[in-house]
């Protein structure tokens, strides 16, 4: 691990539809930039996905000196003139806007960090769905980590997007007492990804969806570090 004490920088990235708040540890000296990158995607901005999300922040700040790292917070998308004929796809359309926002964050990350050899995209809760949509589109992202995904196969609109030359692996972490992230969903999701020759490790932690039990964040950090160090 690095011995640097990185200073965090806050920025706004403007997209065609919105703006995204980001925080990162980029420095101008390329020689001190770390070669392993992590991009954190937040929970749903319409629910718990603010810049004050405790899990997201604690994990981010404990890893900031070990990796080239960025976290983002999406602004809520307001769609006032959505065509009535597409109301059934309203949720999917909004998610697509967040996928585009996340793609802009990936562009920003690689513009800032020039020495990246491996890059992991990490999603928490709803952010897992955006993370998987992004990694299908961005070959420079080498692996994924999904923390307590709140999605079922019915939510995986990118399923047809998985192509034969998509080669990656990933990890899903969930709390044993999680009432929002069903183990049945996780098992079926893993089975689906395995059928596409995508290897997925499953790890469980003795906590709930919010990781607010004793040592839960520290346990989560250890699981993530172990996966990154071995992939």
| Residues 105 and 72 sit within 8 Å (Cβ to Cβ) | yes
List the end-to-end C-alpha distance of the chain, in Å, as a whole number: 15
The pLDDT value recorded for residue 56 is 83
Walk along the chain (231 residues) and give the pLDDT tens digit of each residue. Answer: 555 677 889 999 988 778 899 999 987 766 677 899 999 998 887 766 566 778 888 889 889 989 999 999 888 877 665 555 455 566 667 778 888 999 999 999 999 998 899 999 999 988 888 898 888 888 899 999 999 988 655 555 544 444 445 678 899 999 999 988 878 878 888 888 888 788 899 999 999 999 999 999 999 999 999 999 999
C-alpha pair distances (Å), 169 with each of 121, 147, 200: 11, 15, 6
Q: What is the pLDDT of residue 50?
A: 62
Question: pLDDT at position 156, please?
Answer: 55
> What would the two tokens of residue 96 be?
């697509």
Element at 182 (helix H, strand E): none
pTM over 0.75: yes
For domain 9-80+87-229, which architecture applies? 3-Layer(aba) Sandwich (3.40)
- From residue 57, alpha-carbon distances to 23, 78, 152, 189 in Å are 10, 26, 26, 27
For residue 144, give the nearest of 62, 226, 228 by alpha carbon: 228
Comparing C-alpha atoms, which of 103, 36, 111 is closest to residue 72?
103
């Amino acid at each position: 691990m690095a011995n640097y004490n990185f200073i965090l920088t806050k920025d706004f990235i403007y997209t065609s539809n919105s703006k995204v708040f980001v925080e990162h540890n980029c420095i101008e000296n390329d020689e001190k930039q770390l070669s392993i990158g992590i991009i954190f995607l937040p929970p749903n901005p319409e629910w718990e996905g603010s810049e004050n999300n405790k899990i997201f922040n604690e994990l981010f700040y404990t890893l900031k000196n070990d990796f080239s790292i960025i976290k983002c917070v999406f602004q809520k998308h307001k769609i006032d003139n959505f065509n009535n004929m597409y109301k059934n796809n309203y949720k999917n359309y909004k998610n697509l806007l967040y996928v585009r926002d996340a793609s802009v964050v990936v562009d920003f990350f690689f513009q800032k960090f020039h020495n990246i050899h491996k890059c992991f995209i990490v999603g928490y809760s709803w952010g897992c769905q955006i993370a998987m949509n992004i990694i299908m589109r961005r070959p420079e992202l080498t692996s994924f980590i999904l923390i307590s995904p709140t999605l079922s196969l019915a939510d995986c609109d990118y399923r047809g997007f998985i192509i034969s030359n998509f080669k990656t692996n990933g990890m899903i972490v969930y709390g044993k007492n999680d009432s929002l992230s069903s183990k049945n969903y996780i098992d079926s999701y893993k089975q689906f990804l395995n059928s596409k020759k995508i290897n997925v490790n499953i790890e469980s932690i003795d906590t709930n969806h919010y990781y607010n039990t004793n040592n839960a964040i520290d346990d989560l950090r250890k699981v993530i570090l172990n996966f990154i160090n071995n992939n």
